[in-house]
Structure 1
Amino acid sequence: MLKQPEIIVLSARDKIRLRDQVQRLATTIDKRKFTDADLTNISYTLLVGREHMEYRLALLVTSIKELEEKLYSYIAGEEDTIDFFQGAAHGNADILSVFGKEEELQTAIEKLLENKKYGRILDFWTKGISIDWNKLFDQMPVRPRFISLPTYPFAK
């Protein structure tokens, strides 16, 4: 049986800080010896506990090993990985024009969340559409917890 994918999101004010953020997360995962058991808490912390900025990267992963591989692929410039979404928040005008009203878009997003259409949701998120990520965790018997992860890499 395939494990449900976890959503990992990272964002920054510019592409350089985003790459730094990816590097810091990859290093932390390795250094702290995170396991698959930590994956939901990592996802929860990044989705709900962080500000979502302009430049965005989202990944769908089913294991810590897969997360590390995708993070290092991004760092190496291999950006055509499966379940790898990236964009900038200023790219949402065409999406909003399709739905007409923000309420219609949010209704569509809720339906996508219910049906676990994570690729479509992440495509919207990377273009700057707001997602209520709490809805992913509301149905869980035990809510994940926030864990310590690298903070934002401010420019020096």
Structure 2
Amino acid sequence: MDERLAVVVSKIDELPEIFRQYQQNSPNETIAFTGNAKNKSSSELIIDEEEGKQFIDNLIQKRKLNKIGMFWVSGIEIDWQLLYDTPPKRIALPTYPFEKKRYWIQKDQTRPASKSVQAFPIDEPPQLLYLETKWIEKPIEPGKNPIDNQILVFCNHSDRFDKMRSNVVTVHSGENFEQLSETKYCICPDNASDYPKLIENLDHIPEFIIHLWSDHPFEPDNKIVRNDISKSLISLFYLTQALLNKKRSNNIRIIYAYPSNQPLYEAISGFARTLSQENSDIQLKTVGFKNPYEMTAHILSECFVNDGLEIQYDDKIRQVKQLQPFEPSSISELSLKENGVYLITGGSGKLGQTIAKYIAEKVQSTIVLCGRKNP
């Protein structure tokens, strides 16, 4: 800083009066010093030499504060640490002049004082609203809306789509990225770099994407499960990531069709809800069928319907999962088992610890807290 002000006081209560005098351009020049660090005289340049530094150190040892202040405002650097056994905390002051104009809204004395408003009337306490998820029947007419633009379909059996639409680009699962023809590609489901390559090779980013790689029921085999996860959650994650990194002007709807009543695939709905919250221009809808490949027309129709993110078909009856209010028949206290064992995931968080404390206060039990970080 070039412009400098040094004030020497014996106690902090003296500062307001000195600042007031300084503001009125009438400072006490015996205790308030001003200067510019750039305007060094020849005598001050001598102070910068070794002998001069010893002279300054001597002033500091003898606590000649007035002279120290005079030298500092003229541009001499002072080691302030030498003045204190414990270095004080520096305080940053505003760099702009204080403005005395008042901008607070004045209270209108002519208006009557407003009465205090209660959030809820005393005789009407807030009511709890109970919600539960239900499958609500909402039929649509298959094939009613034609798709004129290009559709990107992730499937290994594209015959049905090829027969119905000429504007279909299909993506098969394989070992490496490969363009098989103008309308057929092959990518590795769990290779993140294949998805940007696919998007770059398309003429344009399609408005509708249908994902049909989850084409068989769950099988309790570790290798098969890993492969199924690669073709479902991991594939959708890499796909949406590639779409988000690509500049585009249109919104995108992804239809993820899967065999219904399969927990491994139905878990994708959680990812779909999160995606819709964070990126409103990409919609991921999960649709469960007994056999997705027999419901091609219904899958295409889902591209145009925006009444929910979780859909299922039960014998061609279309249902949408929605929150619905309900009245509980009875509300009982949580049943806890004496000498039981309770595993709380997310136990390192505040909510998990609150639940653990509640259980510990109610029953003698073993509580295991599981979390990603130390509590």
TM range (shorter): 0.5 to 0.7
Shift of 1:96: 3.5
Identify the structure with bigger relative contact order (alpha carbons < 8 Å, sequence gap 6+). 1
1:77 maps to 2:41: no
Shift of 1:103: 1.4
Residues 119 and 148 of structure 1: is their aligned pair in 2 closer, same or farther, counting only changes over 3 Å?
closer
For residue 53 of structure 2, what is the aligned residue in structure 1?
106
Give SS of 2:16's match: helix
For residue 150 of structure 1, what is the aligned residue in structure 2?
93
Q: Distance in 2 between matches of 1:147 and 1:134?
A: 11
Shift of 1:92: 2.0
1:86 maps to 2:86: no
Q: Which runs of 5+ in 1 are unaligned?
A: 1-52
In the alignment, which of 103, 117, 122 is matched to residue 64 of structure 2? 117
Q: What's the TM-score, normalizing by structure 2? A: 0.24
For residue 44 of structure 2, what is the aligned residue in structure 1?
96
Residues 69 and 81 of structure 1: is their aligned pair in 2 closer, same or farther, counting only changes over 3 Å?
farther
For residue 2 of structure 2, what is the aligned residue in structure 1?
54
For residue 319 of structure 2, what is the aligned residue in structure 1?
none
Shift of 1:77: 1.0
How many residue pairs align between the two structures? 97
In the alignment, which of 67, 70, 92 is matched to residue 15 of structure 2? 67
Residues 124 and 88 of structure 1: is their aligned pair in 2 closer, same or farther, counting only changes over 3 Å?
same
Structure whose CA Rg is larger:
2
Bigger helix share? 1
Q: Distance in 1 between matches of 2:45 and 2:93?
A: 36
Shift of 1:144: 4.5
Conserved? CA contact 1:58–1:85, under 8 Å: yes
Q: Deviations over 1:1-29 (max 9, x none)?
A: xxxxxxxxxxxxxxxxxxxxxxxxxxxxx
Q: Which runs of 5+ in 2 are unaligned?
A: 98-375
Give SS of 1:57's match: strand
In the alignment, which of 66, 79, 102 is matched to residue 132 of structure 1? 79
Shift of 1:145: 4.3
Q: Distance in 1 between matches of 2:65 and 2:95?
A: 25
Conserved? CA contact 2:33–2:69, under 8 Å: yes
Q: Distance in 1 between matches of 2:69 and 2:93?
A: 22
Give SS of 2:76's match: coil
Shift of 1:94: 2.1
Q: What's the TM-score, normalizing by structure 1? A: 0.54
Q: Distance in 1 between matches of 2:29 and 2:13?
A: 15
Q: Distance in 2 between matches of 1:130 and 1:82?
A: 21
Q: CA RMSD in A?
A: 2.3
Residues 127 and 67 of structure 1: is their aligned pair in 2 closer, same or farther, counting only changes over 3 Å?
same
Amino acid at match of 1:76: Q
Q: Deviations over 1:16-62 (max 9, x none)?
A: xxxxxxxxxxxxxxxxxxxxxxxxxxxxxxxxxxxxx1111101111
Bigger strand share? 2
Q: Distance in 1 between matches of 2:79 and 2:6?
A: 15
**Percent of pairs identical after alignment?**
30
Give SS of 1:85's match: strand
